[in-house]
Homo-oligomer: A and B are copies of this chain.
Amino acid sequence: MFSFKFEPTQPGRSRLGSISTPHGVVETPAFIFCATKAAMKSLSAEDMKAADTQIILSNTYHLMLQPGPEVVEKMGGLQKFTGWRGPMLTDSGGFQIFSLGHGSVASEIKGKRMTGRKKTLLRISEEGARFRSYLNGREYLLTPEESIRIQRQLGADLIVVLDECTPYHVDKNYTAESMEMSHRWALRSLAEFKRGDTGTQQLYGIIQGGVYPDLRKAGCDFVNSHPFFGHAVGGSLGASKEQMHDVVSLATEHLCRERPIHLLGIGGISDIFSGVEQGIDTFDCVHPTRLARHGGALVRSMHNPDETREHINLRNSQFRLDGNPIESDCPCATCKNYSRAYIHHLLKAQELLAYTLISIHNVSFMNRLMTAIRRALKEGTFAQVKKSWSRS
């Protein structure tokens, strides 16, 4: 039921591929949208389909707390529960445990400062991660085995091993020891996966190692030597675009080519072009829908007067009387039917419809972007297409 096929393309280590799953085929390079709590923020499964979405992901951390994996299982698994009948991925729960636990690893990973959020991580040990529910304070222990069992109950096509996601500020020693433990956790995840394997799911291994080249290389060697279906590049990608580029490049250089490679948590337009060039097959990020909730609409550079951004902010008063759609050449339901002026009004009036309309555009935009990239790889026009979608 599962397979990954690819053919090398230009430039760099780029490639065109397809991941076959029981719920359909994902043409790669592809973007995976975050339906964190088994729902896209303000969008229905039909909206996602109409915007040409191939695959979405949900977060084990959120779903194990609410509604609980047993509810999703009883309701027939994520695809039946959510109405999204296409391919899905779940993460292991680790990222959010450490992210919410430390304050915010999400910021750390992108080299930003720690935020003051309340810590919920109680203890990391060989056994697993002990943390408190952010909903009711209840204590949980997530082990590698438990993460796999929960992801089996949730029922996504692609699932991920539990790892410790190390933040940017920790030193090399901690990063190395943490990675070693993550490797032991990965083997326990793999063993638990094999125990219950019915052929309806496939497991991704994760490469940690922070910004340290020798650790990253060891991480690649580790996953290469075990029977994972795919690989995900995780952990801290450094404090700058250059450092991220180096970390990703090092990973894709050492990872075996036969398995799909996912880059965790990255979704900027120029970052995607850069990732594709280095051989990344899939990306995920909350960016398209989170941006929408702040009034930001993704636009190609030709539609953007602000050279430093990949979006326009429809809250700005310059759009008050702008009768044009977000992008004049965009075929999405929002651009076909609504003006910037109307969405500006909806944002000012705090109408929920604003978030839906911008999200439809942003999701459609990301899917158009990935389609354009795949066509460019096929036709050998990557450089031109990159230039027409991004400034950098």
Which of A12-20, A140-148, A227-235, A331-339 lies at the binding interface? A331-339
Contact B345 A67, beta carbon cutoff 8 Å = yes
Query: Could you give, for residues 44-86 of chain A, a 1 whenever the CB lies within 8 Å of some chain B CB and a 0 otherwise?
Result: 1110000000000000001000110001001110000111000
| Interface contact B41-A351, CB-CB below 8 Å | yes
When C-beta atoms are compared, the residue in chain B nearest to A45 turns out to be B337
When the two chains form their complex, are residues B338 and A66 in contact, meaning their CB atoms are under 8 A apart? no
Least Cβ distance of A165 to chain B in Å? 23
- A-B contacts, 29 of them at CB < 8 A, read A37-B345, A37-B349, A37-B351, A38-B342, A39-B346, A39-B349, A39-B353, A42-B352, A42-B353, A42-B356, A44-B337, A44-B353, A44-B357, A45-B337, A46-B333, A62-B349, A66-B345, A66-B348, A66-B349, A67-B341, A71-B320, A71-B345, A75-B323, A81-B341, A82-B342, A83-B338, A352-B352, A352-B355, A352-B356
Assess the B67–A348 pair: CB atoms within 8 A. Answer: yes
Residues on B with beta carbons closer than 8 Å to the beta carbon of A337: 44-46, 83
A40–B341 Cα distance when bound, in Å, is: 17
Q: Which of A216-254 contact B (CB under 8 A)?
A: none
Q: Annotate A28-43 by CB proximity to B: 1 below 8 A, 0 otherwise.
A: 0000000001111111
Stoichiometry, as copies per complex, reads 2
What residues of B have a CB within 8 angstroms of the CB of A83 in the complex?
A: 337-338, 342
By beta carbon, the residue of chain B nearest A338 is: B83
A321 at the interface (CB under 8 A from B): yes
- Output the residue of A74, A352, A353 with the most chain B CB within 10 A: A353
A55 CB to nearest B CB, Å: 19
Task: Specify the chain B residue showing the minimal Cβ separation from A74.
Answer: B321
Are B75 and A341 closer than 8 Å at their CB atoms?
A: yes
3 closest cross-chain pairs (CB), A and B: A42-B352, A37-B349, A39-B351
Closest to A323 in B: B75
CB neighbours of A76 from chain B (8 A)? 323
**A353 in contact with B71 (CB, 8 Å):** no
Q: Which of A348-371 contact B (CB under 8 A)?
A: 348-349, 351-353, 355-357
Interface contact B352-A75, CB-CB below 8 Å: no
Is there contact, CB below 8 Å, between A75 and B42? Answer: no
CB interface residues, A 275-331, toward B, < 8 Å: 320-321, 323
Q: How far is the CA of A330 from the CA of B321 in the complex (A)?
A: 40
In the complex, what residues of B have CB within 8 A of residue A46's CB? Answer: 333, 337
Measured CB to CB, the closest approach of chain B to A86, in angstroms, equals 14
CA distance A101 to B339 in the complex (A): 33
A352 partner, pick from B41, B66, B348, beta carbons under 8 A: B41
Cα distance, A353 to B348, chains bound together (Å): 20
Residues of B within 8 A of A44 (CB): 333, 337, 353, 356-357
A86 to B353, CA, bound (A): 19
Give the residue of B81, B339, B346 whose beta carbon is less than 8 angstroms from that of A339.
Answer: B81
Residues on the B chain within 8 Å of A351, using CB: 37, 39, 41
Q: How far is the CB of A317 from chain B (nearest CB, A)?
A: 11
Question: Do residues A342 and B75 form an inter-chain contact, with CB atoms below 8 A?
Answer: yes
Among A39, A71, A333: residue with most chain B CB under 10 A? A39
Q: Could you tell me the distance between the alpha carbons of A346 and B58 in the complex, rounded to whole angstroms? A: 14
Partner of A71 from B67, B74, B321 at Cβ < 8 Å: B321
